[in-house]
Every structure is written in C-alpha cells, then in structure tokens.
Amino acid sequence: MEKSQLRNDLKIATPILHPTSFIAKGAQIIGNVEMKSYASVWYNCVLRADINKIIIGERSNIQDNSTIHLENDLGVQVGNDVTVGHNVILHGCTIENGALIGMGSIIMNGVIVGKGSIIGAGSVITEKMIIPDFSVVVGIPGRIIKTIKEDSIIDNIKWAKKYVDLAKIHKKQL
C-alpha cells in the first residue's frame, strides 16, 4: 500500500490508558494509543494513531506541544524511561529505553533511536537513520557526534523519574 492510500477497513481504535498514566488538560490522545504505567503526556500534545499504533512505555514522558503520528506501515514505539522534550515531532519511529529527545527535534519515519541516546535540541533526524545505543546526535540533518558511557543513561532516567513525580502532583492538584 502506498503512503497516500488508506485501508478500506480503517476503524479508529479506543486508546488503552494505564490507570497510573497522566494526560494533561488539552492533550489529544486519538485512536490506537497505548500508555503504559506512569507514562505522561503533557499540555497540548497530540498523539494521533488513526492508521497504526502508538505505544508510550513505562515512566516515559511526552512534554508540552509535542506531536506523535505515524504511517500505514510504521507505528511509533517509545520505550521505557524516555523523555521527549517540548515541541518535538515523532513520526513513524522507534525510541528505545532511556533515550532523551531534545526540545524542538523532529524524528522522521523509520528512525530507530538507540537505548540511552541523546538527540540534541532542534535536531532533525532524517528517514531510516539507525542511531546506535548511547549516541549523541545533533544538527540538521542529525549527525552522531560522540558515544557516551552506558552509565550516562542514569541521568536520562532521572529526567523520566522527575516527570513521573511531577505527573502525580498535576494529577492530584489540577
């Protein structure tokens, strides 16, 4: 099937939201979206899974004004303990556990961001780029500038943990 075509049997699914997940006011969660435990989607995000599936892993956060969409043959998978910064676009890609996607980045179709990797703010990662685990990528187009130590993932996970705690406060007080 071509990208420009729709399946004849297309049906918009109902999201599956873990009871501990958090969706901020104004965020739109549409279609076949699955949010795992303590995942959070922040103010004015759009996750639109009308033609494929979006999975947001445990303790991962999608920060304000970010957009996640997909292709007929490419869903979006966000692993566990991932931080997706403000104003990010994820489209038909995979983000592995413990990665950090900097504010304003664009991650295109078929990209795989490896475990513990960091995408610098404002970077554009072009179609089908495979980013090895523990890489730092910056620029337009994104280029790998260095490899970081495996224990650096601890810092990335600290950001995810902060957003788990922050979501609990927002859920309770707002």
> What pLDDT was estimated at residue 48?
98
Task: Report the predicted TM-score, pTM, of the whole model to 2 decimal places.
Answer: 0.95
User: Which pLDDT score, from 0 to 100, does residue 125 have?
Assistant: 99
Does a cis peptide bond (omega within 30 degrees of 0) precede residue 15?
no
Query: What confidence score (pLDDT) does residue 1 get?
Result: 66
The two tokens of residue 146 are 């260095």
For residue 55, what are the β-bridge partners? Answer: 34, 77
Spans of the chain below 50 pLDDT: none
Query: What pLDDT sits at residue 59?
Result: 98
Residues near 47 by beta carbon (within 8 Å), at least 6 away in sequence: 27, 28, 29, 30, 33, 41, 54, 56, 62, 67, 68
Domains of the chain, first to last: 16-173 (2.160.10.10)
Supply the pLDDT for residue 8: 76
Per-residue pLDDT at 7: 78
- In angstroms, the CA 145 to CA 138 distance is 7
pLDDT at 173: 93
